[in-house]
Amino acid sequence: QTVVTQEPSVSVSPGGTVTLTCGLRSGSVSTSYHPSWYQQTPGQAPRTLMYNTNTRSSGVPDRFSGSILGNKAALTITGAQADDESDYYCVLYMGSGISVFGGGTTLTVL
Amino acid sequence: QLQLQESGPGLVKPSETLSLTCNVSGGSITSSSYYWAWIRQPPGKGLEWVGSISYGENTYYNPSLRSRISISADTSKNRFSLKVMSVTAADTAVYYCARHHTTLAGRYFGLWGRGTLVTVSS
């Protein structure tokens, strides 16, 4: 059973920069896993933020960026705003049609 | 503008079969660039990919659910469906359908339905 790891919770000050990561319990994440990121606020459907590691989905502000940092995929928010306070999920493509979600990170802006 | 809308019973009894349909409007499910996916989220928990179906009706299932699920497509009605058999309380979740982008340019869930809550209870 593949396990995709994310920080359960992270906090950032308004205007600050924060990086969320997406890793594998066993192994390193590379671009071949096609990392993607999703933002979800309570009661709402997820919103696609980033795909193919670092391509922003339509309408996503450029203060969101994606990368590979070390052995993990990363989502960086530069200049955090109050409405960035959400749950963030990553997905890795494992091959053979299989996708796996991370457990999600709750971001608090305070 | 492509839209997806889930529909189905909101309450299912334990041991029975959960059946949901995703109606797609504003575009065709027969595009070779996309699969069509089901994703679920138990109350207060994270997202879980359930499975996907391709234009050629190849199916891909979460290994942990494979023995109990089935995804099919009805191209004449531009919709796809999910069945989960022998449900338990653990299958209680909001079920989302989504367009699953599956090209070398990216493999991701690009468009989501609003979701529908299914509760398993007697």
B16: distance to nearest CA of chain A, Å? 26
pLDDT at B82 over 90: yes
The mean pLDDT value for B68-73 works out to 97
- Per the CB < 8 A criterion, the answer to whether B114 and A42 are in contact is no
B32: confidence class by pLDDT, cuts 50, 70, 90: confident
Average predicted confidence (pLDDT) for chain B: 95
- Candidates A60, A99, A106, partner chain B, best to mutate (most B CBs within 10 A): A99
Q: Which helix (H) or strand (E) holds A3?
A: none
A62: distance to nearest CA of chain B, Å? 18
DSSP for residue A35? -
User: What is the reported pLDDT for B98?
Assistant: 98
Mean pLDDT by 10 residues, chain A (110 residues): 94 98 96 97 97 96 97 98 97 94 97
pLDDT at B105 over 90: no
- Per the CB < 8 A criterion, the answer to whether B97 and B41 are in contact is no
For A15, A87, B45, B72, the CA distances from B12, given in Å and listed in that order, are 46, 28, 20, 20
